[in-house]
Amino acid sequence: MTMRPSLYTLGVLLTSVATACSEETRPDEPETHTQVPPRPEGAEAGDGSGTMFAVTKYFIGSTTRDGVASIDAWQAYGYDRDDAITKDHFEGHCAVFGAASPPEVFEDGPGGIDNGFGHHIVPIFSFLSGGGFGDDPDPEPQNETNAKLGAGTSALVFYLRDLGPAERYDPIDAFVYEGTGAVDGEWLLRAESVANPSAATLDEVLVSGLTHFAKSYVNDGVWVGLEEPGEDRVLTVTWTIAGAPLELRIHHAVVVMELPRTEGDAATGTVSGIVDAEELREDMRSFVVEVFDEDLCTGSAVDSLLNQVRQQADIMRDGIQDPDQVCDGLSIGFGFEARPAVVRGVAEPAAPPPDLCAPMP
């Protein structure tokens, strides 16, 4: 039987994680901002028959891509979302929420990588899975999520609709879905990922995808999916932590994927974006209740815990910094591997999860 920490222990943990991270000695950061690859100059539009990829492994921020657990692993996932390499000056940043400490909240990875979720939230997942707190995080939550991938439960599916064999394209019409029910590498799409799940043909279903990067591109074999100014591309990903699903809605999502150059190789990529801090707080409430106990729907203990989660916000939800506003977004970055896949249809719409905190009739 897996022993899990008490809610009190978890609350202490959040404070400990922030303190431990703030006391790290880190190497000097490069002054070059970690940005997505630029658009290729003079490239032709996509001219191929397209390719689909499904994620086969996630790197949520507890290990390197080689699988080595490290307290610094979060620094390798994401991009500089606010065009700032934050060291010890916070004047241009949004105001921290509550009693949060700016040096802890705003710490960047190399080149200004923004990944507050990986930095502050991922370390608590090992406790939820029954692990301990030490210098390096327990990789069990990542392993658990990847085991669900192997069972075909849930994965991101990428459709590069007009990808061909060339190394450079601009634009590429691309979609991202959440897949489920995989059998021998053939996936069903979650009905919630598309606008028209009952369309007459599969192609009509595919082009109704809700996460649509109409002007993505490929530069030197690297595909970049990003939104146009004024858009908010939301990417939904589901991880399984401590036996419970945690659904994350990532706003202003950017996906960068190095395409395989040799048959049989995996594509490797990174997702970067912003999690709405208020959405995360309420999602974490449901998550904690499912992992621990329904009695934790309300009360000072769970409210204190969720308030500390809310205090990790390090950016505005729209991806900018505004010193006149309180931070309401949490930057997130994670890595993945993906392989060519097939979509065979659409799954039946999922029943909404029970509201464990709803008042009894």
Residue 10 inside a domain? The answer is no
What was the pLDDT predicted at 224? 98
Place of tokens 């390499």: 85
Q: What is the pLDDT of residue 89?
A: 83
Assess if residue 306 is contained within a domain: yes
- Examine residue 4 and state whether it is found in any structural domain, yes or no: no
Beta bridge partners of 156: 178
Distance, CA of 193 to CA of 208 (rounded, Å): 9
- Torsion sign over Cα 29, 32, 36, 37: negative
pLDDT for the residue 134:
52
C-alpha 74/C-alpha 163 separation (Å) is 31
Count the neighbouring beta carbons within 10 Å of the beta carbon of residue 25: 4
- Amino acid 346: pLDDT: 97
- The per-residue pLDDT for 7 is 54
Which pLDDT score is estimated for 358? 72
Q: Which domain holds residue 340?
A: 46-346
The tens-digit pLDDT sequence of the chain (361 residues) is 344 555 555 555 555 444 444 444 444 445 689 999 999 999 999 999 999 999 999 999 999 999 999 989 999 999 999 999 988 889 899 999 999 999 999 999 999 999 999 999 998 777 666 655 555 667 888 999 999 887 888 999 999 999 999 999 999 999 999 999 998 889 999 999 999 999 999 999 999 999 999 999 999 999 999 999 899 999 999 999 888 899 999 999 999 999 999 988 999 999 999 999 999 998 988 888 888 776 778 888 788 888 989 999 999 999 999 999 999 999 999 999 999 999 999 999 888 877 777 765 6
How high is the pLDDT of residue 360?
58
Cis peptide before 171 (omega within 30 of 0): yes
> Is 272 part of a structural domain of the chain?
yes
Radius of gyration of the chain (CA): 20
Q: Which amino acid is at 145?
A: T
pLDDT of residue 295: 72
Q: Are strands 235-241 and 222-225 parallel, antiparallel or unpaired?
A: unpaired
Q: What is the DSSP letter of 126?
A: H
Strands 342-346 and 186-189: parallel
End-to-end CA distance of the chain: 33
Query: Which residues touch 107 (CB under 8 Å, ≥6 apart)?
Result: 21, 22, 86, 119
The identity of residue 130, as a single letter, is G
User: What is the spatial distance between Cα 251 and Cα 146, in angstroms, rounded to a whole number?
Assistant: 23
Angle between helices 277-291 and 300-310 (to 10 degrees): 140
Q: Which residues contact 171 (CB under 8 A, 6 or more apart)?
A: 45, 46, 214, 215, 216, 217
In a domain, 87, yes or no: yes
Tokens of 355: 């509201």
Q: How far apart are CA 39 and CA 256, in angstroms?
A: 12
Number of domains in the chain: 1
3-state secondary structure 219-286: ECCEEEECCCCCCCCCEEEEEEECCEEEEEEEEEEEEEEECCCCCCCCEEEEEEEEEEHHHHHHHHHH
**Would you say the C-alpha torsion 88, 91, 92, 93 has a positive or negative sign?**
positive
Q: How far apart are CA 336 and CA 268, in angstroms?
A: 6
Beta bridge mates, 187 = 343
Is 358 part of a structural domain of the chain?
A: no
Would 290 be classed as within a structural domain?
Answer: yes
Q: Is residue 293 part of a domain?
A: yes
* Residue ranges with strand state E in 117-243: 155-160, 169-183, 186-189, 211-219, 222-225, 235-241
